[in-house]
């Protein structure tokens, strides 16, 4: 396979749960010659779903990477492919994959069109500026409707979707597709697993419709390119397929348009054309803007690295997986070359790392490499101190690449080891899982002696529990899932003193810090260019040396430690700006410990004075239900303190969008099934934290 970056594509397959992402990936692996046998999700034999938990549940839990070749127009291309989960509990897997990809294939269900989780994934791709092509999959499904699904991409996502294919038939009559660029029909022979493709003239009964879609395609393509627009106005008939492709490619890379394909991965229709579309429309690594970062020695200095082999080495770690042979650290190389055995720098923690081995991954299988260059996605063994989001770079030219945003966990539960041996194993196992999964948190509560684990949803925690027991052989007893509440302040408090003074014969302890607090959000911190870590913004406003410089980090540490354990009910404090405005010290008795204590005291007192509130996580709930159950569903949402924002008919079902507190949602799926005879489905994702009503707040605090 060529190492010329023009012949490389780094892509991901992403979509709503059950839209058929993993099946699309399985077909791609088969047609590119990576697999000689077709795996099936419903049979638990999918290559990319290689965890036992994935095979049992028929869902993707962690993103899997592979590399495969594809022949197109007489040239061989190398496609680095990542299959991502659709379930919202594993949104972090999508987030970190999109961060390192140059393009994506967004898959939609031919009957449902754009669904709730499709919107979330689309917005994530927008945030990381990822060009996309779209696949309307499952065109063989009963009720599949290409025009409807295509329309939802435009309406619900506000995307400039341009159809480059239309289906021949739908549901039972679906047998092929019409390529609108070259105006030819393609039929796929399912008896040969779709590997035999027949090109024919467009059927007469579809000629007129194909002309209409082709006309719109040419018109839309002309809008993306001035030269093509000129040609279109002068003589539209002289426009060639190559000109249309060039304009679409330009528009796709600049994210001004999104070409739409159709097919049925399950029935082997259209997958090869999608691979051609990846080559034709998605960018190679050199066509993506240079990666940006900052100088670790001076965070104000912006740096960038071009995507070529001559530039200094830089790579972003996007995943760490524990392995019996040593941790596998997945990375995207953005610039330069990484040799086997090289020493590199992690500028985030200033640690040197050795890369002892480099692998090209194919799901759980691997192929050893001597080196990896710009544009490659590889896994390495060796780094001990690098986690997801960290940068690895050359020692001589350090750069810190833009980090990823990880969502706050919304649900927690207690977990208890059964024996003393399990207790030791549990600590190591939780450290391993935290390295692998940045959306997972765990901490030990000294007061209750409990270990608390927190994650993105009930399914997330259940899978972590199974991983501990089944894979890591740690015997544990788990409590019931609990909501992860947060605390905040409702007002401001100025000049509150925290004085820590202890005299115990001989040298005493003396720390004195005066702070002001006020409500503050992450957006406000970004606007003012301030550091906002774990919900707290700390600003040093000391002048005239009233507190020596070496004690100021201690005050900040005390403040952050107090914020982590909360003031009201032991929940972490968020959205607070703390200004250290004044203080005093003692030549002999002052110490770092004393100023830590003073900072914590001042923070707690200031927050109490400012007024405390409890925040609860609010979830965005989308229910798809037959219309006759709408009354039951909406009544049940209202009884859960939910608020319905929108409800619309899509065919014969109603889609209800609402916002509901997470504390009211335990066991919701079972209730929903029983009140709709098992015909309704729901998806839920974290939205934001909101202040809790006083009457409910008191109940939570007394329980806690």
Identify whether residues 207 and 302 lie together within a single domain. Answer: no
442 and 496 share a domain?
Answer: no
User: 339 to each of 314, 435, 475, how far by Cα in Å?
Assistant: 12, 25, 41
Report whether pLDDT(83) > 90: no
Q: Are residues 192 and 119 in the same domain?
A: yes
Inter-residue contact 665 to 621 (CB < 8 Å): yes
CATH number of the CATH domain containing 367: 2.40.30.10
Which of 85-94, 444-453, 503-512 is the least confident region?
A: 85-94
Query: Last residue of some domain: 427, 453, 484?
Result: 484
Domain's final residue, options 380, 401, 422: 401
162 confidence band (pLDDT: 50, 70, 90): very high
Domain shared by 71 and 164, yes or no: yes
Is there a domain that residue 66 lies in? yes
Residues 321 and 426 in one domain: no
Query: Is there a single domain that holds both residue 110 and residue 99?
Result: yes
Residue 48 placed within a domain: yes
Q: Which residues, in sequence order, are bridge partners of residue 133?
A: 105
**Same domain for 93 and 114?**
yes
CATH assignment of the domain containing 186: 3.40.50.300
Structural domain includes residue 591? yes
pLDDT of residue 330: 86
Mean pLDDT score across all residues of the chain: 85
The answer for residues whose C-beta is within 8 angstroms of residue 557's C-beta and 6 or more apart is 596, 599
Residue 382, by phi and psi: left (phi above 0), alpha (psi -120 to 50) or beta?
left
In degrees, rounded to 5, the angle at the alpha carbon of residue 106 between the alpha carbons of residues 90 and 375 is 85
Residues 531 and 499 in one domain: yes
The CATH code of the domain that includes 653 is 3.30.70.240
Pairing mode, strands 132-137 and 161-163: unpaired
Q: Is 176 a domain residue?
A: yes
pLDDT band, residue 90 (cuts 50/70/90):
low
CA nearest neighbour of 496 among 559, 588, 589: 559
Work out the angle at residue 105's Cα, subtended by the Cα atoms of residues 99 and 685, and round it to the nearest 5 degrees: 65
Q: Domain for residue 93, yes or no? A: yes
Strands 328-335 and 377-381: antiparallel
* Alpha-carbon gap, residue 357 to 213, rounded angstroms: 51
* 406 falls within a domain: no
Nearest to 307 by CA among 8, 5, 2, 1: 5
Q: What CA–CA distance (Å, rounded) separates 163 from 148?
A: 12
Q: By CB neighbour count within 10 A (0-12 exposed, 13-18 middle, 19+ buried), where does 54 fall?
A: buried
CATH of the domain at 556: 3.30.230.10
**Are 80 and 134 in a shared domain?**
yes
Instruction: Give the domain range for residue 477.
Output: 411-484
**Res 331 pLDDT > 70:** yes
Asked if residue 161 and residue 81 are part of one domain, the reply reads: yes
Q: How many angstroms separate the CA atoms of 624 and 650, rounded?
A: 9
Which residues lie below 8 Å from residue 626, measured CB to CB, with a gap of 6+?
652, 653, 654, 676, 679, 680
Domain with residue 422: its CATH number is 3.30.70.870
More confident residue, 468 or 245: 245
In-domain check, residue 110: yes
Residue 286 lies in a domain: no
Listed in sequence order, the residues at least 6 apart from 501 whose beta carbon sits closer than 8 Å to its beta carbon are 508, 509, 510, 511
Say yes or no to pLDDT of 52 above 60. no
Least confident segment among 111-120, 216-225, 364-373:
111-120
Quick count: other Cβ atoms within 10 Å of Cβ 148?
16
Indicate the number of domains in the chain.
5
The residue out of 231, 254, 281 marking a domain boundary is 281
Judge if 218 and 84 occupy the same domain: yes
For 392-419, write each residue's pLDDT tens digit.
999 999 999 987 777 677 787 888 888 8
Query: Are 602 and 622 in the same domain?
Result: no
Rg (CA), the chain: 28
User: 52-66, 155-169, 196-210: which has the minimum mean pLDDT?
Assistant: 52-66
Report the range of poorest mean pLDDT among 53-62, 120-129, 301-310, 440-449.
Answer: 53-62
Percentage of the chain surpassing pLDDT 90?
42
pLDDT of amino acid 319: 81
Between 83 and 224, residue with greater pLDDT: 224
């Amino acid at each position: 396979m060529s190492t010329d970056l023009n012949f490389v594509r780094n892509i991901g397959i992403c979509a709503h749960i059950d839209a058929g992402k993993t099946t699309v990936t399985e077909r791609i692996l088969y047609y590119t010659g990576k697999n000689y046998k077709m795996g099936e999700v419903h049979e638990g034999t999918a290559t990319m779903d290689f965890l036992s938990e994935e095979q049992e549940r028929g869902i993707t839990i962690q993103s899997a990477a592979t590399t495969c070749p594809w022949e197109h127009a007489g040239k061989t291309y190398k496609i680095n492919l990542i299959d991502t989960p659709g379930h919202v509990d594993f949104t972090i897997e999508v987030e970190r994959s999109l961060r390192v990809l140059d393009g994506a294939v967004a898959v939609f269900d031919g009957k449902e069109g754009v669904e709730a989780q499709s919107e979330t994934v689309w917005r994530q791709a927008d945030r990381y500026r990822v060009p996309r092509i779209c696949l309307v999959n499952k065109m063989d499904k009963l009720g599949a409707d290409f025009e409807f699904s295509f329309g939802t991409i435009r309406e619900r996502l506000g995307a400039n979707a341009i159809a480059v294919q239309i289906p021949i038939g739908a549901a039972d009559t679906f047998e092929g597709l019409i390529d609108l660029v070259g105006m030819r029909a393609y039929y796929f022979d399912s008896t040969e697993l779709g590997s035999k493709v027949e090109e024919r003239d467009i059927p007469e009964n579809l000629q007129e419709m194909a002309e209409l879609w082709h006309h719109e395609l040419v018109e839309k393509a002309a809008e993306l390119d001035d030269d093509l627009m000129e040609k279109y106005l002068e003589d539209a008939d002289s426009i060639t397929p190559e000109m249309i492709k060039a304009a679409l490619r330009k528009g796709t890379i600049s994210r001004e348009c999104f070409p739409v394909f159709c097919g049925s991965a399950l029935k082997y229709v259209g997958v090869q054309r999608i691979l051609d579309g990846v080559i034709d429309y998605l960018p190679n690594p050199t066509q993506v803007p240079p990666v940006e970062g900052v100088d670790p020695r001076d965070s104000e200095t912006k740096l960038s690295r071009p995507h070529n082999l001559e530039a200094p080495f830089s790579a972003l770690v996007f995943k760490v997986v524990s392995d019996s042979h040593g941790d596998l650290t997945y990375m995207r190389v953005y610039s330069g070359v990484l040799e086997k055995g090289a020493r590199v720098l992690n500028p985030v923690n200033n640690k040197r790392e050795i890369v002892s081995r480099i692998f090209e991954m194919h799901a759980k299988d691997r192929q050893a490499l001597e080196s990896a260059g710009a544009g490659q996605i590889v896994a390495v063994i060796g780094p001990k101190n690098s986690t997801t989001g960290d940068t690895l770079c050359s020692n001589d030219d350090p750069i810190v690449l833009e980090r990823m945003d990880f969502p706050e966990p919304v649900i927690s539960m207690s977990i208890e080891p059964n024996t003393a041996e399990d207790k030791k194993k549990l600590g190591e196992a939780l450290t391993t899982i935290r390295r692998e999964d940045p959306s997972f948190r765990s901490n030990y509560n000294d007061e209750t002696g409990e270990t608390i684990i927190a994650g993105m949803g009930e399914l997330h925690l259940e899978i972590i529990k199974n991983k501990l027991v089944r894979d890591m052989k740690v015997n544990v007893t788990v409590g019931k899932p609990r909501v992860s509440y947060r605390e905040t302040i409702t007002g401001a408090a100025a000049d509150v003193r925290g004085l820590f003074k202890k005299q115990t014969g001989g040298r005493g302890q003396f720390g004195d810090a005066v702070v002001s607090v006020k409500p503050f959000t992450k957006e406000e911190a970004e606007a003012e260019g301030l550091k906002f870590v774990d919900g707290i913004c700390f600003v040093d406003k000391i002048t005239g040396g009233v507190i020596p410089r070496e004690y100021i980090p201690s005050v900040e540490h005390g403040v952050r430690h107090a914020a982590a354990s909360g003031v009201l009910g032991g929940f972490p404090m968020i959205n607070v700006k703390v200004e250290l405005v004044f203080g005093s010290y003692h030549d002999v008795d002052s110490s770092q410990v004393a100023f830590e204590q003073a900072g914590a005291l001042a923070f707690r007192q200031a927050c109490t004075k400012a007024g405390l509130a409890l925040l609860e996580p609010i979830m965005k709930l989308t229910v798809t239900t037959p219309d006759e159950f709408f009354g039951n569903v909406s009544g049940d949402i209202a009884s859960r303190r939910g608020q319905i924002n929108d409800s619309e008919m899509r065919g014969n079902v109603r889609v209800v969008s609402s916002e509901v507190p997470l504390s009211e949602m335990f066991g919701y799926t079972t209730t929903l099934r029983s009140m709709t005879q098992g015909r309704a489905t729901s998806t839920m994702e974290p939205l934001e934290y909101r202040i809790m009503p006083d009457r409910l707040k008191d109940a939570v605090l007394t329980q806690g």
